[in-house]
Protein backbone atom coordinates (compact mmCIF):
# COMPACT_ATOMS: atom_id res chain seq x y z
CA UNK A 1 0.00 0.00 0.00
CA UNK A 2 1.41 3.38 -1.05
CA UNK A 3 1.01 6.28 1.38
CA UNK A 4 1.10 10.02 0.64
CA UNK A 5 1.36 12.76 3.25
CA UNK A 6 0.30 16.38 2.71
CA UNK A 7 1.56 18.74 5.39
CA UNK A 8 4.88 17.58 6.83
CA UNK A 9 5.30 19.92 9.76
CA UNK A 10 5.94 18.61 13.25
CA UNK A 11 3.00 16.19 13.28
CA UNK A 12 2.86 15.11 9.65
CA UNK A 13 6.56 14.36 9.38
CA UNK A 14 6.51 12.16 12.48
CA UNK A 15 3.43 10.31 11.28
CA UNK A 16 5.21 9.60 8.01
CA UNK A 17 8.26 8.32 9.89
CA UNK A 18 6.09 6.07 12.03
CA UNK A 19 4.29 4.62 9.02
CA UNK A 20 7.58 3.85 7.30
CA UNK A 21 8.86 2.19 10.48
CA UNK A 22 5.77 -0.01 10.51
CA UNK A 23 6.40 -1.26 7.00
CA UNK A 24 4.16 1.01 4.94
CA UNK A 25 5.50 2.35 1.67
CA UNK A 26 5.53 6.15 2.04
CA UNK A 27 5.84 7.23 -1.59
CA UNK A 28 4.87 10.91 -1.84
CA UNK A 29 4.98 13.97 0.41
CA UNK A 30 3.97 17.58 -0.11
CA UNK A 31 4.26 20.80 1.84
CA UNK A 32 4.01 24.47 0.93
CA UNK A 33 7.40 24.67 2.61
CA UNK A 34 9.36 22.95 -0.14
CA UNK A 35 12.48 22.65 1.99
CA UNK A 36 10.60 20.68 4.64
CA UNK A 37 9.12 18.33 2.04
CA UNK A 38 12.48 17.81 0.33
CA UNK A 39 14.27 17.13 3.60
CA UNK A 40 11.71 14.53 4.71
CA UNK A 41 11.64 12.92 1.26
CA UNK A 42 15.41 12.50 1.38
CA UNK A 43 15.18 10.96 4.84
CA UNK A 44 12.42 8.52 3.89
CA UNK A 45 13.53 7.77 0.36
CA UNK A 46 10.35 9.03 -1.27
CA UNK A 47 9.29 11.82 -3.63
CA UNK A 48 8.72 15.45 -2.64
CA UNK A 49 5.94 16.23 -5.10
CA UNK A 50 5.78 19.60 -6.87
CA UNK A 51 1.97 19.43 -7.08
CA UNK A 52 -0.89 18.00 -5.04
CA UNK A 53 -2.05 16.02 -8.05
CA UNK A 54 1.29 14.21 -8.04
CA UNK A 55 0.73 13.17 -4.40
CA UNK A 56 -2.54 11.45 -5.29
CA UNK A 57 -1.11 9.87 -8.44
CA UNK A 58 1.62 8.16 -6.43
CA UNK A 59 -0.39 6.96 -3.43
CA UNK A 60 -3.40 4.84 -2.51
CA UNK A 61 -4.00 6.48 0.88
CA UNK A 62 -3.27 10.17 1.47
CA UNK A 63 -2.99 11.69 4.94
CA UNK A 64 -3.59 15.43 5.19
CA UNK A 65 -2.37 17.46 8.16
CA UNK A 66 -2.85 21.15 7.35
CA UNK A 67 -3.36 24.27 9.42
CA UNK A 68 -6.94 25.51 9.09
CA UNK A 69 -10.19 25.63 7.11
CA UNK A 70 -8.70 27.73 4.31
CA UNK A 71 -5.76 25.36 3.82
CA UNK A 72 -8.08 22.34 3.84
CA UNK A 73 -10.35 23.86 1.21
CA UNK A 74 -7.35 24.82 -0.91
CA UNK A 75 -5.88 21.32 -1.09
CA UNK A 76 -9.22 19.81 -2.09
CA UNK A 77 -10.68 22.49 -4.34
CA UNK A 78 -7.89 24.89 -5.35
CA UNK A 79 -6.43 25.16 -8.83
CA UNK A 80 -3.94 22.43 -7.87
CA UNK A 81 -5.78 19.90 -5.73
CA UNK A 82 -5.72 16.32 -4.53
CA UNK A 83 -8.83 15.15 -6.36
CA UNK A 84 -7.48 14.98 -9.91
CA UNK A 85 -7.54 11.28 -10.86
CA UNK A 86 -8.53 10.39 -7.30
CA UNK A 87 -10.96 7.56 -8.07
CA UNK A 88 -10.54 4.73 -5.59
CA UNK A 89 -8.20 6.70 -3.33
CA UNK A 90 -8.68 7.22 0.41
CA UNK A 91 -8.04 10.56 2.11
CA UNK A 92 -7.51 10.56 5.87
CA UNK A 93 -7.79 14.11 7.17
CA UNK A 94 -6.14 14.77 10.52
CA UNK A 95 -6.19 18.56 10.82
CA UNK A 96 -8.28 20.36 13.42
CA UNK A 97 -10.77 22.20 11.19
CA UNK A 98 -14.45 23.03 11.47
CA UNK A 99 -16.99 20.21 11.08
CA UNK A 100 -18.52 21.84 8.00
CA UNK A 101 -15.20 21.61 6.15
CA UNK A 102 -15.01 17.86 6.75
CA UNK A 103 -18.50 17.58 5.30
CA UNK A 104 -17.45 19.65 2.27
CA UNK A 105 -14.40 17.45 1.73
CA UNK A 106 -16.47 14.27 1.99
CA UNK A 107 -18.84 15.53 -0.72
CA UNK A 108 -15.96 16.59 -2.98
CA UNK A 109 -14.15 13.28 -2.53
CA UNK A 110 -17.26 11.21 -3.24
CA UNK A 111 -17.96 13.25 -6.37
CA UNK A 112 -14.45 12.35 -7.53
CA UNK A 113 -15.00 8.66 -6.82
CA UNK A 114 -12.77 8.76 -3.74
CA UNK A 115 -13.37 8.33 -0.01
CA UNK A 116 -12.54 10.55 2.96
CA UNK A 117 -12.33 10.06 6.70
CA UNK A 118 -11.66 12.54 9.49
CA UNK A 119 -9.10 11.28 12.01
CA UNK A 120 -8.79 14.02 14.60
CA UNK A 121 -5.73 13.82 16.83
CA UNK A 122 -5.77 14.57 20.56
CA UNK A 123 -2.05 14.05 21.10
CA UNK A 124 1.22 15.72 20.22
CA UNK A 125 4.55 15.34 18.43
CA UNK A 126 6.04 12.60 20.61
CA UNK A 127 2.92 10.45 20.27
CA UNK A 128 2.91 10.91 16.49
CA UNK A 129 6.44 9.52 16.32
CA UNK A 130 5.77 6.66 18.75
CA UNK A 131 2.45 5.64 17.21
CA UNK A 132 0.54 6.39 20.40
CA UNK A 133 -1.90 9.02 19.15
CA UNK A 134 -5.46 9.27 20.46
CA UNK A 135 -7.59 9.35 17.30
CA UNK A 136 -11.25 10.27 16.97
CA UNK A 137 -12.69 9.32 13.59
CA UNK A 138 -15.74 10.48 11.69
CA UNK A 139 -17.19 9.46 8.35
CA UNK A 140 -18.90 6.46 6.81
CA UNK A 141 -18.32 3.42 8.99
CA UNK A 142 -17.23 1.26 6.07
CA UNK A 143 -14.53 3.84 5.28
CA UNK A 144 -13.40 3.78 8.89
CA UNK A 145 -13.10 -0.02 8.76
CA UNK A 146 -11.05 0.31 5.57
CA UNK A 147 -8.67 2.75 7.24
CA UNK A 148 -8.57 0.99 10.62
CA UNK A 149 -5.49 -1.22 10.02
CA UNK A 150 -3.38 1.84 9.12
CA UNK A 151 -4.75 3.99 11.92
CA UNK A 152 -4.01 1.28 14.49
CA UNK A 153 -0.32 1.65 13.64
CA UNK A 154 -0.50 5.35 14.53
CA UNK A 155 -2.62 5.17 17.67
CA UNK A 156 -2.85 3.76 21.14
CA UNK A 157 -6.57 4.51 21.24
CA UNK A 158 -8.82 4.62 18.20
CA UNK A 159 -12.45 5.74 18.52
CA UNK A 160 -15.11 5.83 15.82
CA UNK A 161 -17.41 8.73 16.75
CA UNK A 162 -19.95 8.69 13.93
CA UNK A 163 -20.74 10.42 10.66
CA UNK A 164 -18.51 13.03 9.07
CA UNK A 165 -18.18 16.18 11.15
CA UNK A 166 -18.92 14.49 14.48
CA UNK A 167 -15.29 13.80 15.39
CA UNK A 168 -14.41 17.39 14.56
CA UNK A 169 -17.04 18.58 17.03
CA UNK A 170 -15.55 16.39 19.76
CA UNK A 171 -12.03 17.58 18.94
CA UNK A 172 -13.11 21.22 19.11
CA UNK A 173 -14.48 20.62 22.61
CA UNK A 174 -11.37 18.73 23.71
CA UNK A 175 -9.16 21.63 22.71
CA UNK A 176 -11.53 24.25 24.08
CA UNK A 177 -11.48 22.63 27.54
CA UNK A 178 -7.72 22.02 27.36
CA UNK A 179 -7.12 25.68 26.53
CA UNK A 180 -9.35 26.85 29.40
CA UNK A 181 -7.47 24.54 31.79
CA UNK A 182 -4.13 25.86 30.52
CA UNK A 183 -5.20 29.47 31.03
CA UNK A 184 -6.48 28.68 34.53
CA UNK A 185 -3.23 26.95 35.49
CA UNK A 186 -1.19 29.92 34.24
CA UNK A 187 -3.27 32.29 36.36
CA UNK A 188 -2.90 30.10 39.44
CA UNK A 189 0.86 29.82 39.10
CA UNK A 190 1.21 33.50 38.21
CA UNK A 191 -0.69 34.51 41.33
CA UNK A 192 1.28 32.01 43.38
CA UNK A 193 4.54 33.61 42.30
CA UNK A 194 3.19 37.09 43.06
CA UNK A 195 2.31 35.87 46.56
CA UNK A 196 5.85 34.63 47.11
CA UNK A 197 4.93 30.94 47.15
CA UNK A 198 7.32 28.20 46.12
CA UNK A 199 5.95 27.10 42.75
CA UNK A 200 7.34 23.58 42.92
CA UNK A 201 5.51 23.09 46.19
CA UNK A 202 2.39 24.70 44.72
CA UNK A 203 2.39 22.37 41.73
CA UNK A 204 2.71 19.37 44.05
CA UNK A 205 -0.27 20.57 46.08
CA UNK A 206 -2.26 21.21 42.90
CA UNK A 207 -1.54 17.64 41.76
CA UNK A 208 -3.12 16.17 44.90
CA UNK A 209 -6.22 18.37 45.01
CA UNK A 210 -9.06 19.64 42.88
CA UNK A 211 -6.57 21.80 40.98
CA UNK A 212 -5.08 18.71 39.32
CA UNK A 213 -5.33 18.43 35.53
CA UNK A 214 -3.55 16.92 32.54
CA UNK A 215 -2.12 20.33 31.65
CA UNK A 216 -0.62 20.56 35.13
CA UNK A 217 1.38 17.46 34.22
CA UNK A 218 2.36 18.63 30.75
CA UNK A 219 2.70 22.40 31.17
CA UNK A 220 3.10 23.31 34.86
CA UNK A 221 6.86 22.93 35.11
CA UNK A 222 7.30 24.61 31.71
CA UNK A 223 5.28 27.61 32.89
CA UNK A 224 7.41 27.86 36.01
CA UNK A 225 10.70 27.56 34.09
CA UNK A 226 9.60 29.58 31.03
CA UNK A 227 10.28 26.63 28.73
CA UNK A 228 7.85 27.03 25.86
CA UNK A 229 9.29 24.86 23.09
CA UNK A 230 6.38 24.29 20.77
CA UNK A 231 4.34 21.11 20.87
CA UNK A 232 0.99 22.86 20.34
CA UNK A 233 1.25 26.51 19.43
CA UNK A 234 -0.62 29.43 20.94
CA UNK A 235 -1.75 30.32 17.41
CA UNK A 236 -3.35 26.90 17.03
CA UNK A 237 -4.93 27.21 20.47
CA UNK A 238 -6.55 30.48 19.40
CA UNK A 239 -7.77 28.93 16.16
CA UNK A 240 -9.21 25.84 17.86
CA UNK A 241 -10.99 27.79 20.60
CA UNK A 242 -12.45 29.86 17.78
CA UNK A 243 -13.93 26.74 16.16
CA UNK A 244 -15.66 25.84 19.44
CA UNK A 245 -16.97 29.38 19.87
CA UNK A 246 -18.44 29.33 16.36
CA UNK A 247 -20.23 26.08 17.19
CA UNK A 248 -21.53 27.62 20.41
CA UNK A 249 -22.84 30.67 18.59
CA UNK A 250 -24.56 28.50 15.98
CA UNK A 251 -26.32 26.69 18.83
CA UNK A 252 -27.29 29.77 20.85
CA UNK A 253 -24.80 29.30 23.69
CA UNK A 254 -22.58 31.86 25.40
CA UNK A 255 -19.30 30.40 26.67
CA UNK A 256 -17.54 33.15 28.65
CA UNK A 257 -14.55 31.06 29.76
CA UNK A 258 -13.85 29.87 26.24
CA UNK A 259 -14.27 33.42 24.93
CA UNK A 260 -11.82 34.91 27.42
CA UNK A 261 -9.33 32.11 26.88
CA UNK A 262 -9.38 32.73 23.14
CA UNK A 263 -8.82 36.43 23.84
CA UNK A 264 -5.70 35.52 25.84
CA UNK A 265 -4.31 33.41 23.00
CA UNK A 266 -5.21 36.13 20.49
CA UNK A 267 -3.22 38.52 22.67
CA UNK A 268 -0.23 36.18 22.47
CA UNK A 269 -0.46 36.12 18.69
CA UNK A 270 -0.77 39.93 18.54
CA UNK A 271 2.27 40.22 20.85
CA UNK A 272 4.41 38.09 18.53
CA UNK A 273 4.23 35.01 20.78
CA UNK A 274 1.93 32.88 18.63
CA UNK A 275 4.59 30.27 17.86
CA UNK A 276 5.31 29.59 21.52
CA UNK A 277 3.74 26.47 22.98
CA UNK A 278 0.31 26.96 24.54
CA UNK A 279 2.09 26.94 27.93
CA UNK A 280 3.41 30.36 26.90
CA UNK A 281 0.10 31.84 28.06
CA UNK A 282 1.93 32.08 31.41
CA UNK A 283 3.92 34.93 29.85
CA UNK A 284 0.71 36.98 30.11
CA UNK A 285 -0.10 36.10 33.72
CA UNK A 286 3.23 36.24 35.57
CA UNK A 287 4.23 39.73 36.65
CA UNK A 288 6.53 41.50 34.22
CA UNK A 289 6.92 38.69 31.72
CA UNK A 290 4.97 40.16 28.80
CA UNK A 291 6.83 43.47 29.18
CA UNK A 292 10.09 41.50 29.09
CA UNK A 293 9.02 39.73 25.92
CA UNK A 294 7.66 42.67 23.98
CA UNK A 295 9.18 45.79 25.52
CA UNK A 296 7.44 48.70 27.29
HEC string of 14-71 equals: HHHHHHHHCCCEEEEEECCCHHHHHHHHHHHCCEECCCHHHHHHCCCEEEECCCCHHH
Contact 129, 17 (CB under 8 A): yes
163-to-106, 134, 143, 166, 208 alpha-carbon distances in Å:
10, 18, 11, 6, 39
pLDDT score, position 293:
56
Rounded-to-integer distance, Cα 278 and Cα 180, Å: 11
Rounded-to-integer distance, Cα 121 and Cα 151, Å: 11
pTM (two decimals)? 0.91
User: In which region does residue 45 sit, left (phi positive, over 0), alpha (psi from -120 to 50) or beta (all else)?
Assistant: left
pLDDT score, position 292:
60
pLDDT score, position 183:
98
Task: Indicate the burial class of 74 (C-beta count within 10 angstroms; 0-12, 13-18, 19 or more).
Answer: middle
Rounded-to-integer distance, Cα 258 and Cα 186, Å: 15
Helix (H) or strand (E) segment spanning residue 157: strand 155-162
Contact 53, 77 (CB under 8 A): no
pLDDT score, position 296:
43
The series of mean pLDDT values per 10 residues for the chain, 296 residues long, is: 95 96 97 96 97 97 96 96 96 96 97 97 90 97 97 96 97 97 98 98 98 96 96 94 97 98 97 96 93 54
Rounded-to-integer distance, Cα 158 and Cα 137, Å: 8
- Angle in degrees, 0-180, between the axes of helices 99-111 and 166-194, rounded to the nearest 10: 150
Give the three-class secondary structure for 16.
helix
For residue 233, the cross-strand partners are 277
pLDDT score, position 290:
79
Rounded-to-integer distance, Cα 222 and Cα 228, Å: 6
Amino acid sequence: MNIGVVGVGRMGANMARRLKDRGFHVTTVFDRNRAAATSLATELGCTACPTLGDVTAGADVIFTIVTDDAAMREIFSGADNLLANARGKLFINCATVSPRVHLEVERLAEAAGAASLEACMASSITQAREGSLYLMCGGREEIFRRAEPILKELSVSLRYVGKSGEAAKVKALVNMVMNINTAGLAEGLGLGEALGLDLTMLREVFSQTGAASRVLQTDGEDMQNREHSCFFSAAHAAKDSGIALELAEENGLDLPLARETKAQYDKMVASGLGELDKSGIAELTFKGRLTEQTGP
